[in-house]
Structure formats: structure tokens, C-alpha cells
Chains A and B, each alone.
Chain A
Amino acid sequence: DTGVSQDPRHKITKRGQNVTFRCDPISEHNRLYWYRQTLGQGPEFLTYFQNEAQLEKSRLLSDRFSAERPKGSFSTLEIQRTEQGDSAMYLCASSWEYEQYFGPGTRLTVT
């Protein structure tokens, strides 16, 4: 098992563009989470899937953000009409029960 993987690792985009990130969880994990982390802060929860069902969304997840996990495997996080305030590290984690393991993250820079 190679752990949680995320793609791309870095993304630079212009304000107003749409971006999509992908996360592949550890294969036997049925739970998948998205977090966002800015400099000097701990990760902030965005959303959570159990299998293909999205069970919880943070109010941080505005209408411009959408996440999917088709067939309960990989997940995508899309940000539409990006803003400079969206610049952050986007982290994906997966778990079987309580212990969450993070991927390497996608660093988004909005110019």
C-alpha cells in the first residue's frame, strides 16, 4: 500500500479560473476527508465521505466548492471561479475508523 496520493502536487491558476484536485485514498479505507490549511494554521475540515456518500460539509465549503467520490473510490474537489483567498494547501485524508492518514497535499496558488 502506497498511502494516500493527491494530484497535482502544485497548481498555479489565475483568479476566476476553475481547478480540480484528485485524491486516491488508501485502498481499504472507506472514509475520505478534505481539509484546507493556510500558513500558520492547523488543517480546517471541508468535507467527509463514507464510501460514495458525502455525509458532512463545513460551512467553509461555499457554493464555489464541490466534492465528489464516485463509486466510493477516488475523490475530486473542484473550486469554481477561484479567488486569491482560496490559496492554500488542500489536504486529503482517509481512514478505516478513527485514525486519519493524510496525503501529500495540493498547494494552490491563485494569482
Chain B
Amino acid sequence: QKEVEQNSGPLSVPEGAIASLNCTYSDRVSQSFFWYRQYSGKSPELIMSIYSNGDKEDGRFTAQLNKASQYVSLLIRDSQPSDSATYLCAEMGGATNKLIFGTGTLLAVQP
């Protein structure tokens, strides 16, 4: 059974700090990884995709991928109260287009 694991949180950080969200996956053939943000009662919103080892930066967000350790992370710099949401990690296997999601990590940014 392919799995994506995330700490459910809540992860509480003060405004302006760096929030670090982590995700591990079990399928060694997974090629593509995604971070979605989901506000309560809303649908998931794609914020980052990463396909190769290393870091990928987009504004205040940095995604990190380590395929050898089967580990994906998302860093949010200068966290804002508006970043408070559930962050979903997802992976896409090599032979399929379906996304497998973790249960999400609830982030709370304290003003």
C-alpha cells in the first residue's frame, strides 16, 4: 500500500517565523511531488510542485526533495496569519496520474 505520511499538527509558529512542514512517502518509484494549501471548507490549492532532488523556491515558499530518504518538505518564510491552513503533501507514482495525499498538517500562524 503506497502511503504518504504527514504530522497532523497543529504546527504553531509566530508571525514572521519560518514554518517547516514535512512529508515522507513509501513508493520508491514516485517521480512527482506536490504541496497543496487547503483553507477550512475550501478545496485544495496547488502551491508548489517538485520533480527532482534539491530545492525549489517560489516567493516565500521553498520545497525540498530527497528521493534517497523519501522525504519532501515545505518551508514558508516570513509566515503570515493568512498562511494558517492545512498543507497537503501529495505524490504521483511513475505509472499513474493519480495523486496520493497525506492527511495534511494544520499550520497556525500566531499574530
- Check: B42 CB closer than 8 A to any chain A CB: yes
Q: With A42-B90, A98-B49, A99-B49 in contact, is A91–B43 under 8 Å at CB?
A: yes
Which applies to chain A's interface (DSSP): helix, strand, loop or mixed?
Answer: strand
CB-based nearest B residue for A103: B43
Number of interface residues, chain A, beta carbon within 8 A: 25
Report how far A8 CA is from B3 CA in the complex, Å: 31
Q: Which residues of B contact A58 (CB under 8 A)?
A: 98
Asked if B99 is at the interface of the complex by the 8 Å CB criterion, the answer is yes
Q: A45-B98, A50-B97 are in contact. List 17 more A-B contacts (CB 8 A).
A: A33-B97, A35-B99, A41-B103, A42-B101, A42-B104, A43-B44, A43-B101, A45-B99, A48-B97, A55-B97, A56-B98, A58-B98, A91-B44, A95-B97, A98-B49, A100-B46, A102-B44
